[in-house]
Amino acid sequence: MSAAILELRGVEAAHGDAQVLWGVDWRVRPGEVVAVVGPNGAGKTTTLRVVAGLLRPLRGEVWWDGVRIDGLSADQVVERGVALVPEGRRLFAHMTVLENLLLGGYAPRARQIRRETLREVFQLFPILEERAGQPAGTLSGGQQQMLAIARALMSRPRLLLLDEPSLGLAPRVVQQVYEVVGRIAREGVTVVVVEQNVYPVLQHAPRGYLMAQGRVVAEGTAEELLCTEVVQRSYVGG
Amino acid sequence: MEVWLQNVTFGALVGGLYGLAAVGLALVFGVLRMLNVAHGELIMLGGYATFWLFTLWGLDPYASLLVAGPLLFAVGVALYEGLFGRLVRLHEESKIQLSILIGFGLALVLHALAILAWTADDRAVTAAYAGRVLHLGPLVVPLTRLGGLAVAFAALAGLHLFLQRTDAGRAIRATAEDWEAAFLMGVPVRRVYRMAFALGSALAGVAGSLVAVSDAISPAIGLSWTLKALIVVVLAGLGSIFGTFVAGVLLGVAESAAAFALGGVFREVVGLVLFVAVLTLRPQGLFGRGL
């Protein structure tokens, strides 16, 4: 295995007094698309929040591109090329599509080349250019997910973290979302996708982790994960 | 009829100041989710700044806006760093509660210090043009009141452009809507909080200057200005600067109409009646979009 560009070592974290992560280890190589699946409450979202700098871990380390980033705040993490598309998209619903995108490129490094990035993003998502002046809250669910991804791309990330990108979307739209993710990955961006719904993500990510109860319980190729008994048990409610 | 018109005009002119006072309070509340009940005391400080600049150095009160605004901006930074900024990590509910407690304490302290420093006397800036009026047909309009309305409107227009057209302004609006999402965009949320608090304080300073020239100031005016601002914020709802300004004008008009029709004591009553009525019938406010 070549060197990991993102590495989590024994990450433990808590919400208030309740500890929810109990030693999470991830190793992600440059340019990989990695799936993280598991049932509700497994700690997937919390782990992403730790990586993005929204939550400080109790113990453990997060390394990104040779730098230890646990302890940095979210604005510092995004400046280092890590972008999170949060669960539920979290668009600025009262602001226009264009304003959402401009905010995506707010970090100093990204702001210097914001016009170019905007042009590229509009090429990838022509619908967003058509709707640029419209409040983000008036877009359809699929368009909102596209905008959430586009907004994250405005920060020029080299690591894109996606939290439940298929949630609440029709299968055909989910397919479109994953096509876009595939194109982003082919540009050389490393991608980590968290999904509770295993099937679409494991069609597109060659490898992944299965989490449950705040730990990584299995690791392997998409086929292995799909066949893992644990997957069966986790989802059939064992 | 003419007397009515005169009263309504006068109320609208006063109301512009209510609007300005309220926008500062609403900005802080909307962005930080903190209620600064010492907002009226900041208005009082702005008033004294203008009063002393005029009395000691003869500085024109409208020129002193350019001092009172930045001065209160700096006071806002200091208050944020020393007091209110310590609450930002707390949960929404305790943040509001504790900010109200801190604000009350701060209001008492500022009130007492102002009495010690400047006595409890009423003061007013008596510029050469203070008594002049403008005759618009049958209406008599005091020049300083008209100037106050114009300045209030200009300050709010400036704030509007800043929030809509600049990156820093967009960052403030984004933080008000969803601070965590803004943080993920690379917005330094704490600096935005400090900026919003300082801007709200600067608006209070400008409002205070206008009060000093068109009305009178004393160390005790703070509470009543906080109350007016609070009523206007509830009336307007959050999310619209011009909605807040219009609500201020409405309150001013309602007050002077009530005072004229029903007697002076009803000036204060009508605001509180509106306050309760809006909270009951339209809790998101006349122009608000809710939280």
- Tally of domains in chain B: 1
CB-based contact, B189 to chain A, within 8 Å: yes
Identify the CATH number of the domain in which residue B181 sits: 1.10.3470
The answer as to whether B166 is a domain residue is yes
Q: Which of B8, B1, B9 is nearest to B135 (CA)?
A: B9
CB-based contact, A93 to chain B, within 8 Å: yes
Residues of chain A contacting residue B178, judged by C-beta atoms under 8 Å apart: 90, 92
Question: Which of A74, A92, A155 shows the shortest C-beta gap to B177?
Answer: A92
The per-residue pLDDT for range A28-37, each reduced to its tens digit, is: 999 999 999 9
Q: Across the interface, do B182 and A99 touch by the CB < 8 Å criterion?
A: no
Nearest 5°: phi and psi at B111?
A: -60, -50
The whole-angstrom separation of Cα B90 and Cα A206 is 41
Q: Across the interface, do A52 and B182 touch by the CB < 8 Å criterion?
A: no
Question: Does the pLDDT value for residue A230 go beyond 70?
Answer: no
The Cα of B183 is separated from the nearest Cα of chain A by a number of Å equal to 6
Global confidence as pTM: 0.93
The whole-angstrom separation of Cα B28 and Cα B34 is 7
pLDDT of the residue at B291: 45
CB-based contact, A106 to chain B, within 8 Å: yes
The whole-angstrom separation of Cα B167 and Cα B157 is 17
Q: Across the interface, do B181 and A107 touch by the CB < 8 Å criterion?
A: no
CB-based contact, B168 to chain A, within 8 Å: no
Q: Across the interface, do A107 and B185 touch by the CB < 8 Å criterion?
A: yes
- Return the DSSP state at A2: P
Q: Across the interface, do A103 and B171 touch by the CB < 8 Å criterion?
A: yes
CB-based burial, B185-207: b 16+ in 10 Å, e otherwise: bbbbbbebbbbbbbbbbbbbbbb
The per-residue pLDDT for range A150-193, each reduced to its tens digit, is: 999 999 999 999 999 999 999 999 999 999 999 999 999 999 99
Question: Does the pLDDT value for residue A16 go beyond 90?
Answer: no
- Transcribe B1-63 into DSSP letters: -HHHHHHHHHHHHHHHHHHHHHHHHHHHHHHH----TTHHHHHHHHHHHHHHHHHHH---HHH
Work out the angle between the directed axes of helices B167-177 and B143-165 (0-180°, nearest 10): 80
Residues A130, A136, A140, CA angle at the centre, nearest 5°?
A: 75
The whole-angstrom separation of Cα B217 and Cα B207 is 12
CB-based contact, A98 to chain B, within 8 Å: no
Question: Which of A73, A86, A102 shows the shortest C-beta gap to B181?
Answer: A86
The answer as to whether B289 is a domain residue is no
Q: Which of A5, A6, A15 is nearest to A214 (CA)?
A: A15
Contact between A15 and A184 under an 8 Å Cβ cutoff? The reply is no
pLDDT of the residue at B268: 87
Element (H, E) at B124: none
Question: Which of A54, A103, A155 shows the shortest C-beta gap to B174?
Answer: A103
Please, which residues 200-229 of chain B have a Cβ atom closer than 8 Å to chain A? none
The Cα of A45 is separated from the nearest Cα of chain B by a number of Å equal to 14
pLDDT of the residue at B192: 97
CB-based contact, B241 to chain A, within 8 Å: no
Q: Across the interface, do A103 and B177 touch by the CB < 8 Å criterion?
A: no
Residues of chain B contacting residue A91, judged by C-beta atoms under 8 Å apart: 181
Contact between A224 and A232 under an 8 Å Cβ cutoff? The reply is no
Q: Across the interface, do A94 and B171 touch by the CB < 8 Å criterion?
A: no
Question: Which of B170, B173, B183 shows the shortest C-beta gap to A75?
Answer: B183
CB-based contact, B185 to chain A, within 8 Å: yes
A233 falls in which pLDDT band (50, 70, 90)? low
pLDDT of the residue at A30: 96
Q: Across the interface, do B187 and A93 touch by the CB < 8 Å criterion?
A: no
The answer as to whether B290 is a domain residue is no
User: How much of chain A, in percent, has pLDDT values that exceed 70?
Assistant: 95
Instruction: Give ipTM to 2 decimals.
Output: 0.93
The answer as to whether B224 is a domain residue is yes
Question: Does the pLDDT value for residue A238 go beyond 70?
Answer: no
In chain B, which stretches have pLDDT less than 50? 291
CB-based contact, B2 to chain A, within 8 Å: no
Question: Which of B170, B171, B184 shows the shortest C-beta gap to A78?
Answer: B184
CB-based contact, B178 to chain A, within 8 Å: yes
Range of B267's domain? 2-132+142-281
Search chain A and give the residue with CA nearest B291: A94
pLDDT of the residue at A229: 57
CATH number 3.40.50.970 is the correct assignment for the domain at A1-81+193-238 = no
Residues of chain B contacting residue A73, judged by C-beta atoms under 8 Å apart: 183
A98 falls in which pLDDT band (50, 70, 90)? very high
pLDDT of the residue at A227: 82
